[in-house]
Amino acid sequence: MSAYIVVFVKIHDRERFINEYGIPTAKLVEQFGGEYLARGPGVETLEGGLFDGDSAVISRWPDKDALKAFWYSDAYAKLKAVRQSLADAHVMIVEDPS
């Protein structure tokens, strides 16, 4: 059953975020079997407004175990610290019920 990471992020320094976090994280996502479905700035909220204007990322994983192997890996822990210094993020897991 596929699992997804859904992230809403308010980036404080976009250039550093892309170079120091985005590019190396994309390589790591691929190594762990994930793939990006959508990513980019300018979230348009249809209801609620909490994330309006933020950036968003959606990645798909073979299953929740693969997703968590990535999330809790030593390699990602280093990148996560970089992300936390450059942005505020809301990160969620969603599983495909099929």
Q: Total domain count for the chain?
A: 1
3-13: per-residue pLDDT in tens? 999 999 999 99
Q: Is the pLDDT of residue 24 over 80?
A: yes
What is each CA distance from 13 to 2, 20, 21, 55, in whole angstroms?
32, 11, 11, 12
Residue 45 DSSP symbol: -
Could you tell me the residue range of the domain that residue 60 belongs to? Answer: 3-95
Q: Which long-range contacts (CB under 8 A, 24 or more apart) does 23-26 make?
A: 24/79, 25/76, 25/79, 25/83
Residue 3 DSSP symbol: E
Q: At 76, which CATH number?
A: 3.30.70.100
pLDDT the model gives residue 13: 96
Q: Is the pLDDT of residue 97 over 90?
A: no
Report, as an integer, the average pLDDT of 21-28.
98
First to last CA, the chain: 7
